[in-house]
């Protein structure tokens, strides 16, 4: 008999983190993105919120822009990989993974952010 190895496709997610004591939500977004990817944001705008299943927690969604020529510097103890995607790349991934997406993910604020970005172009 032979053995088979399953091949997992890479999955990417929005950058997420927690607000530190005394820090604004906006400052936390800049800090988390900078720490995890090395990217300095140009613009930041609040989009939406979502209840989070931890005590006294709320997920806040922000949309940001940054110069894509910046070098990604991954914080390896936080994330495995980071990269820039075109809308067409995201659309293709969306179609491939949507049928296997759990319903809880389909109503997530991250999905709302991505779908809004896709609808623009």
- Rounded Cα–Cα distance for residues 115 and 97 (Å): 14
Listing DSSP states for 77-100 in one string gives: TT-S------HHHHHHHHHHHHTT
Domains parsed from the chain with CATH numbers: 25-119 (3.90.79.10)
Query: Is the separation of the CB atoms in 42 and 65 below 8 Å?
Result: yes
Return the minimum-mean-pLDDT range out of 1-10, 77-86, 89-98, 111-120.
1-10
Q: How confident is the model at residue 72 (pLDDT cuts 50, 70, 90)?
A: very high
Strand locations in 1-121, DSSP E? Answer: 41-51, 58-66
pLDDT of residue 101: 55
**pLDDT tens, position by position, 28-68:** 999 999 999 999 999 999 999 988 777 888 889 999 999 99
Question: Coil, strand or helix: which one is 33?
Answer: helix
């Amino acid at each position: 008999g032979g053995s088979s190895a399953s091949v997992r496709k890479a999955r990417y997610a929005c950058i997420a983190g927690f607000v530190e004591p005394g820090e604004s939500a906006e400052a936390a977004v800049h800090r988390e993105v900078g720490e995890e990817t090395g990217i300095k944001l140009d613009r930041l705008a609040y989009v939406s919120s979502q209840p989070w299943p931890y005590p006294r927690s709320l997920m806040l969604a922000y949309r940001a822009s940054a110069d894509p020529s910046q070098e990604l510097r991954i914080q390896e103890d936080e994330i495995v990989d980071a990269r820039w995607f075109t809308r067409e790349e995201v659309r293709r991934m969306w179609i491939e993974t949507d049928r296997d997406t759990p319903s809880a993910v389909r109503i997530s604020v991250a999905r709302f952010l991505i779908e809004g970005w896709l609808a623009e172009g």
